[in-house]
Amino acid sequence: MMPSPSPRRRTWSLRARALAVGASFALPAAALQVFQAFRAYDDARAAAIAEARAAAEQVAAAVSATMSAARDLTAGVAAAGPEVLFDAQRCGPVVRASLDLFPTFSGVTVIDRGGRVVCSARPIPPGPPPTAADREWFRELMATGAFTISEPLVGRITLAPVVILASPVLDDSGRTVGAVSGGLELVRLADLMRTFLRGREGATATII
């Protein structure tokens, strides 16, 4: 005949069963909380990515519009032709008027085929006449006859960090005989990007 379990063992058995039943309810609830936490994280991450993508697209569109306007302006000035642009007296009013149309430029300059500055919308600083002959963007423009955008550099007239955007000046036979360049100050690009990133803490934008 089997001995009956002691009252103490019966008490522990009941307690163990109660713990097991409680765990069977607690574990799914904890798993649900973990799942909900991960889902909330994924939703927040997706929303942040969507917001960042929207901001990046706005910045890219604004920069693209600025570059297109700069191209149109320099090409429009270059269309005046070398007869006007390489005459310092006739050139001055043209470049000054173009700067009024596109104040984002720090300056507009006409350069002949040797890289010499013929005229500038901004006063030329004292010292040796500035030249673009050694600038990579000028060499590229003269070689390709195409609109050119430089790497960031320090402008030799404004003495400010800029990106140069330049269109070729063509003679009657279509040969490239010079350039019309505009300097877009990097600080203005930064201001442009900040207008779209305002309120987005920790956000940065990089133009590649």
pLDDT in tens, 182-206: 988 887 777 766 665 666 555 555 5
Q: Are 120 and 109 in contact (CB under 8 A)?
A: yes
Closest of 130, 184, 192 to residue 153, by C-alpha = 184
Start-to-end C-alpha separation, the chain: 89
Q: What is the pLDDT of residues 134-180, one digit of tens each?
A: 999 999 999 999 999 999 999 888 888 999 999 999 999 999 999 99
DSSP string covering 170-203: E-TTS-EEEEEEEEEEHHHHHHHHHHHHTT-TT-
Closest of 143, 157, 171, 154 to residue 108, by C-alpha = 157
Measured CA to CA, the distance from residue 127 to residue 116 in angstroms comes to 14
**pTM of this structure:** 0.68
In this predicted structure, the answer to whether residue 63 has a pLDDT above a threshold of 70 is yes
* pLDDT on residue 124: 84
Q: Are 170 and 78 in contact (CB under 8 A)?
A: yes
